[in-house]
Amino acid sequence: MLDRCRSCLQTDLDQLREQLEEEQEGRSDLQRLLTKANNEMAAWRHKAESGEGAVRSEEMEELKRKMNAKVVELEAQLEAAQSKASSMEKVKNRLQGELEDLSVEVERVRERFYSCLTYFTHRVGRIWNAS
């Protein structure tokens, strides 16, 4: 039974590791998108300040609002991904601790079982030899 629990916990731990990796990949993607949005915003700012873009003030303000909204959205997504990754890391650590505890318990039960088995084997041997 303990082996089955251990197996279940190991499966859960493996699944959480996989989810953690996926979240970390998502976090990297979001970080990349945030960097891209910041670079685009800086490029537009440079064009506007240098006169290259020939963008009217109203259009510039609209673009600025859109870019800021996108940056805020990406930052929120990044924060959510970081929070989820942190949570999954905590769950992974907890399950790993439980798995270690169960492994110790399995070993202790196994030792006790073999001790009892040895004791009863000797007792049965004495009974057979006495008869």
pLDDT in tens, the chain (131 residues): 767 777 888 888 888 888 888 888 888 888 998 899 889 888 878 877 776 656 577 777 888 899 999 999 999 999 999 999 999 999 999 999 999 999 999 999 999 999 999 999 998 888 888 76
Q: Which of 61, 64, 75, 56 is nearest to 40 (CA)?
A: 64
Cα 129 to Cα 37: distance, rounded to the nearest angstrom: 87
Q: What stretch of H or E contains 111?
A: helix 57-130
Using CA atoms of 34, 37, 43, 46 in order, give the dihedral in degrees to the nearest 10: -80
CA 45 from centre of chain: 38
pTM for this model (two decimals): 0.48
